Structure 1
Amino acid sequence: MNTVVISFIADDKPGLVNLISTTVSQHDGNWLESSLSHLAGKFAGVVVVQISAEKAEALIGSLKALSDKGIRLNAEIASSGATEVEYRAATLDLIGHDKPGIVRDISNTLAQMGVNLAKLTTEITPGSMSSELLFKAQGQLQIPTTTDIHDLQDAIERLASDLMVDIEIE
């Protein structure tokens, strides 16, 4: 069996998920997991599909043909030869006044510490006591067991101070 990772974006309209899921089903693929979102008038997603090795390339070809329906799509067979690193899971919660560069600075600090940002959700919301916009982020982290948790916490605290935001890792 192969695993195919599909990413796509299209103008949001009814039936997009149906087009992709029907194509997967027509090739006897199994839709395992996905993350789908409506953002700024677009609909975007990432889907993981399991399929027999003999049918993977045909599925990819059929998915790419959906460009005729306005879906910009990329599909790749996932490599199974990745080196396994032992991680401990953690969550990241951030809130602070919105300004450019927050995601860049957080991801840079995490990358320098060898931490994988497995999932990130962000949003802008109005402050409860003011009209100022607040930036909120929630993430799922994979921290290598070899990473010193105290060093990571120190780096995050310095970053929070520099950005003037509240960051918690649990």
Structure 2
Amino acid sequence: MATFTLTCIGDDRPGLVSDLSAPIHAHGASWNRSQMARLGGKFAGILLLDVPDAKADDLVAALSALDDVGLHVTLERTDVPVNEPALRINLELLGADRAGIVAEISAALAGRGVSIEELVTDVREAPMAGGRLFEATAVLGASATTSTDDLRAMLEALADELMVEIHLSDATGPGPAASSSSA
């Protein structure tokens, strides 16, 4: 079985997911996991799929041909076993929108050897306060040797600098493990 990570982007229109799913189904592939959204008039997505080895090359060709209907598809074979992180931590962030929040948080996490497994962000109008709010939710992955107390302290200090609220919780259980407020 071959595993692929696929990205796609095209002008948003009815039928794009159907155009994408038809060759996946026709080649006996399994649509495993995906995240897709309309962003700035474009439809963009990422998905993980499995296909029988004997049909992998034909599927790649069929998906590449979707350029003809306005959907650009890129595939990367990802059969390589991945070491799963020992710790998973949910992160929620909310604060006034400004440039650099993701860059600073992601650099600090990378410096601690913590990966971002999932990231969803949005900017919305701030009710009653005016301005815009930036919000992010993420699932973080870390090794068993990662000190959650040190990670929490580092993120609390960074939250104070960025003037945002960050809440952490165990990804396997409910309830925040730590939080910090804006300064």
Does the pair score TM above 0.5? yes
C-alpha displacement of 1:143 = 2.0
Q: Secondary structure at the match of 2:105?
A: helix
Shift of 1:16: 0.5
Structure-2 change in CA distance of 1:86 and 1:33 (3 Å): closer
Identify if the C-alpha distance between structure 1 residues 148 and 48 changes in structure 2 by more than 3 Å, giving closer, same or farther: same
State the match for 1:3 in structure 2. Answer: 3
For 1:33, the aligned partner's letter is R
| Aligned match of 1:161 | 160
Measured in 2, the distance between the counterparts of 1:70 and 1:6 equals: 16
What's the TM-score once normalised by structure 2's chain length? 0.88
Q: Paired residue for 1:37? A: 37
Moved over 2 A (4+): none
SS at match of 1:80: coil
Please give the alpha-carbon distance, in whole angstroms, between the structure 2 residues aligned to 1:32 and 1:51. 11
The amino acid of 1:10's aligned partner reads G
Question: 3-state SS of the aligned residue for 2:150?
Answer: helix
1:104 corresponds in structure 2 to: 103
1:116 counterpart residue number: 115
CA distance in 2, matches of 1:154, 1:76: 37
Q: Which amino acid letter does the alignment assign opposite residue 147 of structure 1?
A: T
Kept after mapping to 2: 8 A contact 1:4/1:56: no
Q: Within 2, Cα distance between the matches of 1:131 and 1:110?
A: 30
8 Å contact from structure 2 (residues 4, 79) kept in 1: no
Residue identity matched to 2:32: L
Q: Give the superposition deviation at 1:139.
A: 0.8
What stretches of structure 1 of length at least 5 have no aligned partner?
A: none
Letter in 1 for 2:31: W
**Are 1:63 and 2:73 matched, yes or no?**
no
Q: Is residue 147 from structure 1 mapped to residue 146 from structure 2 by the alignment?
A: yes
Contact kept in structure 1, 2:93 and 2:166, CA below 8 Å:
yes
Shift of 1:85: 4.7
Gap runs ≥5 in structure 2: 170-183
Query: What do residues 54-84 of structure 1 show as CA deviations (whole Å, max 9, x unaligned)?
Result: 11111011101111111111012113244x2
The aligned amino acid for 2:43 is F
Cα RMSD (Å) of the superposition? 1.1
How far apart, CA to CA, are the structure 2 residues paired with 1:145 and 1:158? 23
| Secondary structure, aligned partner of 2:3 | strand
Aligned-pair CA distance for 1:30? 1.1
| Partner Cα distance (1:123, 1:146) in 2 | 32
Partner of 1:57: helix, strand, or coil?
A: helix
Aligned AA for 1:80? V
Structure 1 counterpart of 2:35, one-letter code: S
Over residues 108-164 of structure 1, what are the superposed CA-to-partner deviations in whole Å (9 max), with x where a residue is unaligned?
A: 111111111111111111112221111111111112211111111111011101111
